[in-house]
């Protein structure tokens, strides 16, 4: 039976883990810590989705060495946790282990083996010092874009509100046999799967829509519908999105949709609470670098000015620093 490890049993990791465990088509376990680890050991994972409640065993540990090499590791942690993951994930990786990166924003492997103006560029904002890239070589990676919303009201309990979409793809481009195996496993668990031939574009497109909504919601405490309803904020979002689209065009991820078209889609989601707002309210570290900082860094590399994104980055970084949710700048650095 396929051995699967969920690394990070929070909202998205818990959602995927619960569905896989309930489907019974693989041996699924989890790496977790603290109260989440205790809850999983005591009662397994609980998933509430509308009127449906799924309860499934999800054996968990905080020591990857006890599990050994896996067939598939589903990496579902927030960006700030990546350095710690890089230090401990080694025992889970065999020669053929696949690592599905179900994470927000620009991943550390985005430019590995890729041509163009950012060929093999390491993003200092995402992977300072190259720790993640060294620990998880790109050959292991399968990219993933999550189109689902979930929250964790208490450890080991996931509330799924909308969406079951997962887009997966090989960083090298063409579909593969191993990609099809992962797709089949996730489809059996009830996800709507798309196998992409251009996962870089899919990642950038989601980021293009999220890089403003997430930090603005965290800054203001407002749900997505209220952000979009304010004409001044909506235009600010549009201006930043135009900058991100210009950056994307330079790296082969051209977004042709207009910001207003994306806003119309966002309105349909109603009073949703973006993940960065949920993290801010819960006092968790904010995932700023992969969502906002990386776009600024790439823009600088390809010669695209991003004044609105820069302003947003400065605001959300200071917001996080004042609340202890984002690290203070090193002396001499912004």
333 pLDDT tier (thresholds 50, 70, 90)? low
Residues 200/206/212/213 CA torsion (nearest 10 deg): -160
DSSP 218-232: HHH---HHHHHHSHH
User: What is the tens place of the pLDDT at every residue in 51-67?
Assistant: 999 999 999 999 999 99
> How confident is the model at residue 331, as a pLDDT?
42
Q: Does residue 296 have an active-site annotation?
A: no
The mean per-residue pLDDT over the stretch 94-112 comes to 97
Query: Three-class SS of residue 98?
Result: strand
How far apart, in whole angstroms, are the C-alpha atoms of residue 7 and residue 92? 10
DSSP state of 290: I
Provide the sign of the torsion angle of the four alpha carbons 89, 90, 92, 97, taken in this order. Answer: positive
pLDDT at residue 45 tops 90: yes
What's the residue count for the chain?
334
Q: pTM, whole model, 2 decimals?
A: 0.95
Give the Cβ contact number of residue 323 at 10 Å. 12
**In the chain, where are the structural domains located?**
3-197, 204-322
Q: Which of 3, 78, 206, 296 is catalytic?
A: 206
How far apart, in whole angstroms, are the C-alpha atoms of residue 302 and residue 297? 9
pLDDT at residue 18 tops 60: yes
> How confident is the model at residue 330, as a pLDDT?
52
> How confident is the model at residue 132, as a pLDDT?
96
| H helix runs in 24-130, sequence order | 34-43, 82-88
Domain 204-322 has CATH 3.90.230.10: no
Domain topology for 3-197:
Rossmann fold (3.40.50)
User: What is the tens place of the pLDDT at every residue in 178-232?
Assistant: 999 999 999 999 999 999 999 999 999 999 999 999 999 999 999 999 999 999 9
Across the strands, what pairs with 150? 160
DSSP state of 291: I
């Amino acid at each position: 039976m396929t051995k699967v490890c969920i690394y990070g049993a929070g909202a998205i990791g818990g959602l995927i883990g619960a569905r896989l465990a309930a489907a019974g088509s693989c041996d699924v376990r989890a790496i977790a810590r603290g109260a989440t680890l205790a809850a999983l050991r005591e009662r397994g994972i609980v998933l509430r989705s509308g009127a449906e409640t799924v309860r499934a065993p999800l054996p968990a540990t905080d020591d990857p060495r006890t599990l050994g090499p896996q067939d598939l590791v589903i990496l579902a942690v927030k960006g700030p946790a990546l350095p710690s993951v890089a230090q401990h994930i080694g025992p889970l990786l065999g020669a053929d282990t696949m690592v599905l990166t179900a994470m927000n924003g620009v991943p550390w492997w985005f430019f590995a083996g890729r041509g163009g103006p950012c060929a093999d560029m390491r993003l200092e904002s995402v992977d300072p010092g190259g720790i993640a890239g060294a620990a998880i070589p790109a050959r292991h990676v399968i990219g993933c874009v999550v189109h689902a919303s979930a929250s964790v009201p208490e450890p080991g309990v996931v509330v799924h509100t909308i969406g079951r979409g997962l887009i997966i793809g090989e960083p090298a481009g063409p579909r593969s046999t191993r990609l099809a195996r992962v797709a089949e496993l996730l489809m059996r668990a009830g996800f709507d799967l798309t196998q992409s031939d251009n996962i870089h574009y899919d990642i950038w497109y989601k980021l293009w829509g999220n890089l403003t909504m997430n930090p603005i919601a965290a800054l203001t405490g407002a749900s997505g519908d209220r952000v979009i309803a304010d004409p001044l904020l909506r235009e600010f979002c549009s201006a930043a999105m135009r900058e991100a689209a210009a950056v994307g065009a330079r790296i082969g991820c051209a977004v042709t949709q207009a910001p207003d078209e994306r806003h119309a889609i966002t309105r349909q989601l109603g009073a949703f609470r973006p993940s960065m707002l949920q993290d801010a309210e819960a006092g968790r570290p904010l995932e700023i670098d992969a969502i906002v900082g990386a776009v600024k860094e790439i823009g600088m590399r390809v010669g695209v000015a991003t004044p609105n994104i820069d302003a947003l980055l400065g605001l959300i970084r200071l917001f996080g620093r004042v609340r202890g949710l984002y690290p203070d700048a090193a002396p001499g650095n912004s």
